[in-house]
Amino acid sequence: MMLNLEQVAEIEKQQHICHPGNHQLPGQLIPLEDCVYCTSLPALLANWWVMREILEDLVNQFAYEGKPVNGVASITPGGSSALQWAFKVLGYLDPHPMPHKQCQATGCTAHATCGTPTPGGYKRLCATHYALTSTMQAVLSRMGVA
């Protein structure tokens, strides 16, 4: 009688043995309660919101800049299969609007690349508006206004 994977997993669980092919060195059978992977995975799954937050942070860091969507900056997984899966898990469309990544200069839809203090407070700006702000601050400083 041939067992399917679910039946094998159930037998291993009943015997409290971690299967060597999962994540241990080949040939090593250890008690399930001693396996760091087997004991931490259920805890992670129980805290889905923690995993979602981690996944959102990774997508936010590694996704590519997309074209603006309705005038709002966006991200896209590009050709990365890992990012495509992350987008699916998070329920993101491709491209996914990211207003907090947008330049805060009025009317600009470019991605913000840096931040700087401005007369109106700290702002995240695209490279073009950052250069304009830096130039303006230098001129005002030379004039003794700033």
The reported pTM is 0.55
Q: Give the per-residue pLDDT at 63.
A: 93
Q: Residue 95: is the preceding peptide bond cis (ω within 30°)?
A: yes
**In the chain, which stretches have pLDDT less than 50?**
24
Closest by alpha carbon to 32, among 11, 18, 20, 14? 18
Separation between Cα atoms, residue 114 and residue 6, nearest integer Å: 50
Q: Which positions ≥6 away from 29 have C-beta within 8 Å?
A: 17, 18, 19, 20
Q: Give the per-residue pLDDT at 11.
A: 57
Separation between Cα atoms, residue 37 and residue 22, nearest integer Å: 9
Q: Where are the domains of the chain?
A: 57-101, 102-146
Plot region of 8 (φ>0 → left; ψ -120 to 50 → alpha; else → beta): alpha
* pLDDT per position as a tens digit, 48-62: 777 888 899 999 889
Q: Give the per-residue pLDDT at 9.
A: 63
